[in-house]
Amino acid sequence: MTYPFWMPCLVVHGGAGEPPMTERAERQAAVERGLECGWRAMERGAMEAVLAAVRQLEDEPSLNAAVGACLNRDGEIELDAALMEGGELNVGAVGAVKDVRHPVDLARAVMEDGSHVLLTGEGASRFARQRGVETCDPEVFMTDRQLRNWWEAGDTVGAVAFDDRGRTAVAVSTGGTYRKWPGRLGDSPLAGAGFYAEDGMGVACGTGVGEGFMRLCLCHLAVMEMGHGMPAPEVASKAVDHLARRVGGSGGVILIDAKGVPAAACNTSFMSWAKRVG
């Protein structure tokens, strides 16, 4: 069987929001490291690329995912993550996990198992132990920076990819919002809200305050618009405008359309992101 040739593309983000100016350069550098890790895996396909990129971002203490994730009202870390491939629309997602070293690995295990789409809390942790996914003491995720910045708004990390066979994939990971109610889930583990991928249409990933993305199913909407022929740069701009206008939401999106064209936009003062094509 032969396949058409496509130009591979990877886009990675480290969150949209209003971080202190002193943190912005490091956040961008962290995203560049995630991009490099993802790009090295691109030869194995879009899924491997986004997984590698987000695993690296989960190790970056300047970003709100796994190590360095934000704290809830009880001073605890609860992590969300998800993974989706655009061919068969397979999805794996986890929410409010406290002891999984790389939540995106657990999302992959959920996807590969295929019995469920989303597992949360202690049940997700039990599934991780059963499947041999690395767990850890929650103290591993704590940093002085997060204790100092307990009051801030939250963000997300994520990656979208389009490989040389036209396959799409997306991965996301987050600690959610600062001082969130324990057990709160945002858009990141919810297909259609914080992420969506469909081969032949496009792939999207959001970042910001998740409640607005959830109300609008914004990433699904963005992919549908690209599938109807709207180019990625236009969709990105209109998506963040719609988020602000319709529900007063803040955040950003990264996208790749069905032609492999990448785009990013935000309605905040800052979003760390990077792309590579070729």
Domain ranges of the chain: 9-265
Angstrom CA distances, 6 to 45, 55, 160, 168, 232, stand at 12, 25, 15, 11, 16
pLDDT for 6? 85
Tell me the residue type at 129: R
- Lowest-confidence segment of 141-145, 199-203, 243-247 by average pLDDT: 141-145
- Give the pLDDT confidence of 58-94 residue by residue, as tens digits: 999 999 999 989 889 998 999 999 999 999 999 999 9
Could you tell me the pLDDT band of residue 114, with boundaries at 50, 70 and 90? Answer: very high
- Give the pLDDT confidence of 139-175 residue by residue, as tens digits: 888 877 666 655 455 578 999 999 999 999 999 999 9
pLDDT for 147? 62
Catalytic site residue from 143, 156, 168, 177: 156
* Residue 66: closest CA among 79, 51, 56: 79
| Average pLDDT score, the chain | 94
Is there a catalytic annotation at residue 135? no
The dotted CATH code for 9-265 is 3.60.20.30
pLDDT for 151? 46
pLDDT for 221? 98
pLDDT for 1? 39
Could you tell me the pLDDT band of residue 273, with boundaries at 50, 70 and 90? Answer: very high
**How many Å apart are CA 211 and CA 166, to the nearest integer?**
31
- Give the pLDDT confidence of 1-51 residue by residue, as tens digits: 344 678 999 999 999 988 889 989 999 999 999 999 999 999 999 999 999
Helical residues (DSSP H) of the chain, grouped into ranges: 21-40, 46-57, 103-113, 121-131, 144-148, 210-216, 218-227, 232-247
pLDDT for 148? 63
**How many Å apart are CA 249 and CA 258, to the nearest integer?**
27
How many Cβ atoms sit within 10 Å of the Cβ of residue 205? 33
Place of tokens 């001073």: 75
Whether residue 257 contacts residue 232, with contact meaning beta carbons closer than 8 Å, is answered with: yes
pLDDT for 87? 97
